[in-house]
């Protein structure tokens, strides 16, 4: 069952990349006591994700902050090394935290998994965006047509 507005985020271990290597974090650490914009993508370095989705959140980080967003989290089913390299490639700096859901645990726990094994990609994450306020889902947007419009930073801004 897919997570819904009003649901608490599941407690899942995730990873970020630091100067000393992958570091474990949790959804509790990421979402506790703050208002967070999170977006999920099928894969790092993929065309739409790299050309449009991540750049949109980087470009709109200040506007999102002005509307009360305290951090922006990008999550994908890739390892922390890939997410770190992708963040460097996308020049996210401190605007977007690149988070690894390497085993698709968050994707599965939220019902946002996407089975792309037939295409050789394994289990992935659907394209989504959400606002999480102190661990509770406040808004949720899912793409249904393979695009990125309703999960874009611009759409989120217009609906905050």
Under a CB-based contact definition with an 8 Å cutoff, are residues 131 and 35 in contact? yes
Tally the residues of the chain. Answer: 160
Which residues does residue 142 pair with via DSSP β-bridges, in sequence order?
128
Cβ neighbours around 14 below 10 Å, total: 22
74 given a catalytic annotation: no
Query: How many angstroms separate the CA atoms of 87 and 109, rounded?
Result: 25
Alpha helix (H) residue ranges in the chain: 27-31, 47-48, 54-59, 61-66, 80-89, 105-109, 153-158
Q: Among residues 49, 80, 98, 106, which one is catalytic? A: 49
Helix, coil or strand: residue 49 = helix
Which residue has tokens 């990421």? 30
Question: What are the residue numbers of the active site?
Answer: 49
């Amino acid at each position: 069952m897919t997570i819904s507005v009003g649901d608490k985020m599941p407690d899942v271990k995730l990873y970020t990349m630091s100067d000393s290597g992958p570091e474990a974090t949790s959804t509790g650490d990421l979402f506790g006591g703050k208002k967070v914009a999170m977006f999920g993508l099928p894969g790092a370095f993929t065309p739409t994700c790299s050309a449009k989705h991540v750049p949109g959140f980087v470009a709109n980080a200040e506007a999102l902050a002005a509307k009360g967003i305290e951090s922006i989290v990008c999550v994908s089913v890739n390892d922390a090394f890939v997410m770190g390299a992708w963040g460097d490639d996308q020049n996210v700096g401190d605007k977007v935290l690149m988070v690894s859901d390497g085993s698709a645990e968050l994707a599965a726990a939220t019902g946002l998994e996407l089975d792309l094994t037939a295409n050789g990609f394994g289990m992935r994450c659907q394209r989504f965006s959400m606002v999480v306020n102190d661990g509770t889902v406040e808004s949720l947007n899912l793409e249904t047509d393979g695009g990125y419009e309703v999960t874009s930073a611009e759409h989120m801004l217009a609906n905050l």
